[in-house]
Structure 1
Amino acid sequence: MPTNIVNEFKNPENKSLKDLFFPVVLDDGVKKNICALDKYWAPRSIFSNYTSLVVAGGHYKTGAALQEWQHEADNFKSDLEFLLSLKHHEFWSYMVFQKSALGCIVSFLQKATPFYINICSQPPTDNVQADYETLLNLVLRIICRLLTPKESADCWLKKDDMRELIYKNYLISVPMLFDLLVAVGNASPENAAILQRIFDTLLSIEPNYKKDLIAALNFFRAAFRSIQTQTENEGFEGAGGGLPDDTCETPFDDVALYTLDCAFTLSVLLDVCPAVRSLCGEIKLGQSIANFYDNTLSFLYKNIYLINETAKSLMWLNQARLQFLQAFRSISYSYVEEVLAKPKASIMATEEFIGLLTECLSEQTFVIDYERHFSVALDMEILKQACEDLDTFKANFVVQGYQKEAETAAKETINNIQNLIANQELLNSNDAINQAKSKVEEKVDDPINKPKPSSERDLELEVTMVLDCLPHLGTGFVRKLISRYDSSEEAIAAVLENNLPPDLAQADHSEVYIPADPQDKLYEQTGIKHFNIYDGDKYDIMTQDNPQCIIKQGKGFPNAPQNATQLLDDKRDLAAIKHRYQEYSLVTERDSDDDEYNDEYDDSYEALLESETRVVKSKDLKNVLANVADVSEDETESEEEESSQQTDNNQRNKNDNFCENPEDIRARYEARRQAKWAKKGNFVPQQQPKDVVGRAKGQGQEKDVLRNRQKKEANKSSRANHNRKAGAAFKQSKGMF
């Protein structure tokens, strides 16, 4: 803090807070002008946080814990009084630059006692309640001071500057406002007026709060889903979070309190801030409330009732139901108010109102409870008087739908009460039993009071009657109609008049009835589900703890390679056939004294087969014999002896050789080739064109045509557009490109 302040924070020119500067003499004697909104004016950095007066389960603290709370509340009270006692520029400096001062307010709002706490537990003593109300009053005064732009002529702040300071520094946020709604509530008109003034001020100075409120309203849908999740998971996961403690009567107490908090928050918000009602209509929050009311709340109530019929959480849920109905009423009646405000331009609001109620008709429980508390017929009468273009057919349809559901529920309630009374009388005395029997007989004799039970109705006969009149309907849809109406005549009339409830009107009219499987009923009675000759064997996983089978999980088979590397590294197949190839090593080589021959290999005669060689041998033998017979007689006897001896040696060598000498085969093949083409002028033969077209279809084909087609089909991959990839690879390997 400054050691010397000049002019005692006077503002003779009445400047705004952000434009105001105060001259200050520092410790070193230097005079300096400091802005009125500066951290210099907020030297204190420690503020206490609020401790909740309520423990888990919605109960107040008692004993030593309560005494400790009173001591901490006194310290917290002194901090709040310190903030309120500050001057205008000091107060704003603390709020903006000291986060601990703002955290002090936030801690109270987050841990404040809900205004509906008396529903959950007994109220505390008077002095404790007075201490808490004092703290709540101080917090409200601080929030109201933040929203006050002008405290005096020389202590004021521009609205633009105030809007920027509040919104950008999160001095007041939407979560804080929701906590404030639960802490203050609308139980008294004064509290509702304060909250309404706060919301109106914020929305007027900063329009961005409307976007934040839309995001907050969408959060209620997430809360509904969270409550549904925890309800389905028996209260251990979802909205409330955490396991139940010893004080909980059921596992659902936590989620019931969470539901109650959401209901009161939404109800109070729509009550004190009318601008939010139109936002709820834009995001269709009313339909979400009706769906949550009909499905999740009913299921949650049933679960708690089955565990403990006297649980307090049942009362909390009843209060939550009332608040949700009130919230839906605020949303729906906003359209009626809009029509009354602008009757000439009210057709759109009227259609939206009827559309909202029509969409909620499928939620039967919600429709019954809403009609009990708020008359839809009265709202429609108001709209008919204010709006001349109202669609009377739609309005009557909605009114009849809500009234019929309510009447049906009322009849069922009366019957249930009568049954309870009758049962109680039966337990009292024998005289009461006789009287009850006489009453029942009188009701049975009266055809008006006696509803025909569905079990005594011949459903098959009524289905046949309806199908005779309306054969285009399916048996399944007809059964739904009969179950909804008391007789087949009423069902037929409803279909012909096109006056079906929304759920039946949107259902599939060609739905087929599939009867229940009798084996399922047998399983429910006996517990035996399998009907198989293999039941109970060593492979049955239903009866055997360790079945003798392989239960495959994932891809592939057991012990199979997991990837290509393991597959290529597996050499077991090669090892299995290795012994087969080792037998070839038993063949040994030996030296031979026979004539050796040249074993050169020529690729041009690769097509010569062993069968051809044998044929050539026989021909050569005949040629040799013919040549011997044609030898000239004038050859000398010596030459005959030499030739005959040479022929005998060659023949003997041929017989002794393992195979014919390839050199002789090539020479003979080349000689025959040369002799063939010598007559034609020693030119290279050109391949004759092969006919693959043949004759027209149906006239038969020659063998040459069929053979040419077969050769073309077999060899077509070696030319034309084939083997491009192989040719490209060959060129690339040779460096051609």
Structure 2
Amino acid sequence: MACARVPLDEQQVTEPGPLGAERTLPALHPDRMEERCFVPYKPPPAEGSPADVEEFLEHAKFITEDLEWLLALPHDKFWCQVVFDGSLQRCLDSYLHHAPRGLEIIVLPFSRMVADVQRAVHRAVFLTFLRMATHKESKENFLTPAVFGEIIYDNFLFDIPKILDLCVLFGKGNSQLLHKMIENIFTQQPSYYSDLDETVPTVLQVFDNILHKCGLQCEEAAAIEPMKLNAHKQPTAVTMSQQELVDIILYLCDSTTTIHAFLDIFPAACSSFQSHSFLSRLTSFYETAVPDLEKAVRKRNFDDKDLHEDLWKRLSHSCRKMVESAHLLMHHTCLQPILEGRENMQTFAEELLQYFTTFLTEKRFLSDYDEQFPIADDISLLQQALPVIDETRTSYLLQGVESAWDSVGRRKPPSQIRNEAPSSVSAVQGAAGGGVASAAGYEPEEVREPGRDGESLSGAEAMVDVPRKGNNGAVRPVSEAELESLLSCIVDLLPDLGEGFLLACLQEYNYNSELVINNILEDRLTPNLDKLDRAMPRPVKEELPDVLNNRSNVFDDDEFDIFRRDQLDMSRIWKGRKRGENTREMLNDKQHIEEQRARYQTYETVVDEVIVEPGESAAGFDLDDYDDEYDDTYDMNQVGANDLDGDSLLNRRPFTVPQVLRKGNKTEEEEEGEDDEEEDVLQKNVNRDQFVQDPALLRQRAEARRAATQQRKGFRPEPPGNVVGRPKGQGQTLGTFLDRRKKEANKSRGANHNRRNMADRKRNKGMIPS
């Protein structure tokens, strides 16, 4: 028998050998293992045929019985079976790989029986892993901590992928047990921390793979590896096949749910994730991939409405888990040390503000994050804990949050839910006072899923949380296609309700179809909705007039009017050069001139007199008929033109332009003289082609006019100055001397800008050495 108070790894046992003789063996020895075959786990069948359901029930029953037998073994036998039985590890690994996750709901004819068996397997697997992670069961049954760490690490009883699967499968309802279990594993074997550091880049690679499949690339990845030239040829989320889109969304949902569950249960891993800039990569992925995936799901036509609704639910769930993961990272690495009053609080506050500042460029992520976790609350906590926080910076952050809501086209809810414990304010004030002991009584509120406390063990059958807002996380009016999709989903479940009533409900509950259905079934509608008629039809929408039929254009009813013609002459439409057409032949083609020749030939003949035959008078011109009513008194006589009582109308003086309207101060004689000169010149050159006149002649005329004008006004041009003078040594005349002095005095009028006078002024003041 095993000795008391001795670790199992140091114990020796005496047992009969194969030939009947007794032998002494270590307590952990392969020969002490029982021969038992553990069958691998198979998930519940999707189709639900009776044969498949019966096979699943039989396999699950075998697994449950084997694991209950294993749990009933004593401490030494249990560890011999765990360490040396390979079929047991394969059975446990198969359950972690194939067990249905939270969003995978089993709908079978025998759902209750299947659920009961599944729950039994789920519980047995969890208890097995829990016992495997416990190195001390009692004072008599325990392992040396160092040996325990080597056993679980060297035999791969636990690794990082297994721990991630344990969190996502058993985290809901068992978070405290899982936290103690994983904390004990990492404490007894610190090598798991190094494995976690090597796993984080693999998790980041998941995001890169999704972006690559969607034909996208985030900024951080682009800085490391530039996008390839053939990247534009890859299919996008909108153009890829339906099966590929389904796989990507399922992959994203499973990955984000697993990461959030692990960070929520084991917060100590947040520092390892942050060491690889996980938060910045997560936000960049969210901003880049989520809009494209939502657009692809929204615009794609699915034959199966259930598939469409399931994809939208999974995508919304993924978005929420990414936002919550980002909050966990910032809470445990920045905010919690501040609330606990640790040292270097200013450093943690600066790091938190820096994260918020980097979020300002990620508009979509920032608005979704602020909807679930208002940034104003975190900034308020910082201001209470550290009054020295720069108010200008915090105001800038809050304005950036408001701008993010406006840029994404959404409206911030008027009142955001704030679940703050009353002790949080006093705890923050105590932390601000500088004492760790004063803030030690404050326990920061963890991010918990609704309904976790007091919930029974559900494991793999856990349902997804219903989002508070609409299916797409928005509180803005949805598009027409989204509205039709929401209506169709509700009408399928509640066909007796009118579409008008459902539209009012959707508008009241921010287009959240799940919330509308839940409140209708539980009869918890608001009073204004209860007053409405539940069979109210949808209001008739007035059809707008067709723009194409009411348009007015100069090309209406022409031969290429496609809006009014069903058939067009396509032989007259081509792109580029017409086939079989030569440019030279096209230029030499004068057919259009020949077509116009007959039109202009009618103007060649001008008839001065028309000879009318006697028989044609009545038919044509009526020239022979006399009109006795015609009065020819004024045909030839100029009546009143030569009367003696006034000046003759024919001998009036010529018209004179008034002095006010004349140009300049030129007299009439000067204007007439200039006109005569110009007329003489024009008469001399009347036979020349004046299309382009000689520039020299034009300059000569202008100079002559200028000289004549100066002569009339008595202007005398200034005589040219002679500043050059005679050659040196022959003496200068008085005129040359005077011209030079005049030039020297008047230098400031030119380009020198009074340079000589200013130089003399500086020299007189001693600024320039003489």
Q: What TM-score do the two structures reach when normalised by structure 1?
A: 0.52
User: Is the 1:344–1:387 Cα contact (8 Å) retained in structure 2?
Assistant: no
Amino acid at match of 1:271: D
* 1:318 aligned partner: 316
Amino acid at match of 2:257: F
* 1:228 aligned partner: 211
SS where residue 23 of structure 2 aligns?
A: strand
* 2:93 aligned partner: 106
Amino acid at match of 2:321: Q
User: Is the 2:167–2:261 Cα contact (8 Å) retained in structure 1?
Assistant: yes
Q: 1:158 to 1:301 in 2, by over 3 A?
A: same
* 2:369 aligned partner: 370
Amino acid at match of 2:260: S
Q: Does 1:297 align with 2:259?
A: no
* 2:675 aligned partner: none
Runs of 5+ in structure 1 lacking a partner? 1-9, 438-527, 538-737
Higher mean C-alpha deviation, range 24-33 or range 140-149: 24-33
Matches within 5 A, 1:22-33: 22-33=13-24
Return the match for 2:325 from 311, 327, 349: 327
Alpha-carbon shift at residue 116 of structure 1 (Å)? 3.1
Amino acid at match of 2:254: D
Using the alignment, how far apart are the partners of 1:429 and 1:92 within structure 2? 68
Using the alignment, how far apart are the partners of 1:414 and 1:152 within structure 2? 55
Alpha-carbon shift at residue 326 of structure 1 (Å)? 0.9
Return the match for 1:41 from 14, 28, 32: 32
**1:547-575 CA distance string (max 9 Å, x none):** xxxxxxxxxxxxxxxxxxxxxxxxxxxxx
* 2:410 aligned partner: 410
Identity of aligned residues (%): 21
* 2:153 aligned partner: 167
Amino acid at match of 2:74: K
Matches within 5 A, 1:149-548: 149-186=135-172, 188=173, 191-232=174-215, 251-308=244-301, 310=305, 311=308, 312-334=310-332, 335-342=334-341, 344-408=343-407, 409-411=409-411, 416=477, 433=542
**1:53-91 CA distance string (max 9 Å, x none):** 255xxxx74432121111111112222122212221111
Alpha-carbon shift at residue 162 of structure 1 (Å)? 0.9
User: Is the 2:7–2:141 Cα contact (8 Å) retained in structure 1?
Assistant: yes
Amino acid at match of 1:117: E
User: Is the 1:250–1:304 Cα contact (8 Å) retained in structure 2?
Assistant: no
User: Is the 1:115–1:184 Cα contact (8 Å) retained in structure 2?
Assistant: no
Using the alignment, how far apart are the partners of 1:182 and 1:61 within structure 2? 25
Return the match for 2:120 from 115, 134, 141: 134
SS where residue 252 of structure 1 aligns?
A: helix
Q: 1:150 to 1:402 in 2, by over 3 A?
A: same
User: Is the 1:286–1:328 Cα contact (8 Å) retained in structure 2?
Assistant: yes
Q: 1:531 to 1:395 in 2, by over 3 A?
A: farther
Amino acid at match of 1:387: L
**1:141-179 CA distance string (max 9 Å, x none):** 111111222233432211111111111111111111111
Amino acid at match of 1:148: T
Alpha-carbon shift at residue 292 of structure 1 (Å)? 1.3
Alpha-carbon shift at residue 530 of structure 1 (Å)? 8.6
* 2:561 aligned partner: none
Q: 1:63 to 1:307 in 2, by over 3 A?
A: farther
Alpha-carbon shift at residue 263 of structure 1 (Å)? 1.4
User: Is the 2:360–2:366 Cα contact (8 Å) retained in structure 1?
Assistant: yes
Q: 1:383 to 1:414 in 2, by over 3 A?
A: closer
Matches within 5 A, 1:592-607: none
Q: 1:430 to 1:327 in 2, by over 3 A?
A: closer
User: Is the 1:96–1:169 Cα contact (8 Å) retained in structure 2?
Assistant: yes
* 1:78 aligned partner: 65
* 1:511 aligned partner: none
Runs of 5+ in structure 2 lacking a partner? 217-230, 413-473, 485-498, 501-536, 546-572, 583-770
Amino acid at match of 2:351: E
Q: 1:238 to 1:89 in 2, by over 3 A?
A: farther
Q: 1:419 to 1:158 in 2, by over 3 A?
A: closer
Using the alignment, how far apart are the partners of 1:354 and 1:290 within structure 2? 15
SS where residue 221 of structure 1 aligns?
A: helix
Q: Does 1:143 align with 2:140?
A: no
User: Is the 2:8–2:141 Cα contact (8 Å) retained in structure 1?
Assistant: yes
SS where residue 114 of structure 1 aligns?
A: coil
Amino acid at match of 1:315: K
SS where residue 214 of structure 2 aligns?
A: helix
User: Is the 2:215–2:236 Cα contact (8 Å) retained in structure 1?
Assistant: no
User: Is the 2:167–2:265 Cα contact (8 Å) retained in structure 1?
Assistant: no
Alpha-carbon shift at residue 250 of structure 1 (Å)? 5.1
How many residues align structurally? 421
SS where residue 14 of structure 1 aligns?
A: coil
**Structure with more relative contact order (C-alpha pairs < 8 Å, separation 6 or more):** 2
User: Is the 2:45–2:53 Cα contact (8 Å) retained in structure 1?
Assistant: no
User: Is the 1:256–1:316 Cα contact (8 Å) retained in structure 2?
Assistant: yes
* 1:116 aligned partner: 103
Using the alignment, how far apart are the partners of 1:319 and 1:199 within structure 2? 25
Higher mean C-alpha deviation, range 68-77 or range 22-31: 22-31
Using the alignment, how far apart are the partners of 2:580 and 2:324 within structure 1? 59
Q: 1:305 to 1:28 in 2, by over 3 A?
A: same
User: Is the 1:227–1:239 Cα contact (8 Å) retained in structure 2?
Assistant: no
User: Is the 1:294–1:365 Cα contact (8 Å) retained in structure 2?
Assistant: yes
Using the alignment, how far apart are the partners of 2:29 and 2:249 within structure 1? 47
**1:240-271 CA distance string (max 9 Å, x none):** 9xx98xxxx75411211111111111111111
User: Is the 1:196–1:272 Cα contact (8 Å) retained in structure 2?
Assistant: yes
User: Is the 2:360–2:404 Cα contact (8 Å) retained in structure 1?
Assistant: no
Q: RMSD across aligned C-alpha pairs, in angstroms?
A: 3.9
Alpha-carbon shift at residue 272 of structure 1 (Å)? 0.8
SS where residue 33 of structure 1 aligns?
A: strand
User: Is the 2:323–2:369 Cα contact (8 Å) retained in structure 1?
Assistant: yes
**1:459-504 CA distance string (max 9 Å, x none):** xxxxxxxxxxxxxxxxxxxxxxxxxxxxxxxxxxxxxxxxxxxxxx
Alpha-carbon shift at residue 123 of structure 1 (Å)? 10
Using the alignment, how far apart are the partners of 1:535 and 1:196 within structure 2? 82
Alpha-carbon shift at residue 414 of structure 1 (Å)? 8.1
Alpha-carbon shift at residue 407 of structure 1 (Å)? 3.9
Matches within 5 A, 1:2-13: 10-13=1-4
Amino acid at match of 2:103: Y
User: Is the 2:152–2:158 Cα contact (8 Å) retained in structure 1?
Assistant: yes
Which structure: greater helix fraction? 1
SS where residue 22 of structure 1 aligns?
A: strand
SS where residue 183 of structure 1 aligns?
A: helix
Alpha-carbon shift at residue 239 of structure 1 (Å)? 14
Q: 1:231 to 1:351 in 2, by over 3 A?
A: same
Using the alignment, how far apart are the partners of 2:581 and 2:183 within structure 1? 75
Q: 1:392 to 1:293 in 2, by over 3 A?
A: same
User: Is the 2:298–2:482 Cα contact (8 Å) retained in structure 1?
Assistant: no
Alpha-carbon shift at residue 275 of structure 1 (Å)? 0.6
Using the alignment, how far apart are the partners of 2:406 and 2:355 within structure 1? 21
Using the alignment, how far apart are the partners of 1:356 and 1:261 within structure 2? 26
Q: 1:322 to 1:25 in 2, by over 3 A?
A: same
Using the alignment, how far apart are the partners of 2:122 and 2:365 within structure 1? 36
Q: 1:230 to 1:25 in 2, by over 3 A?
A: same
User: Is the 1:22–1:34 Cα contact (8 Å) retained in structure 2?
Assistant: yes
Q: 1:274 to 1:54 in 2, by over 3 A?
A: farther
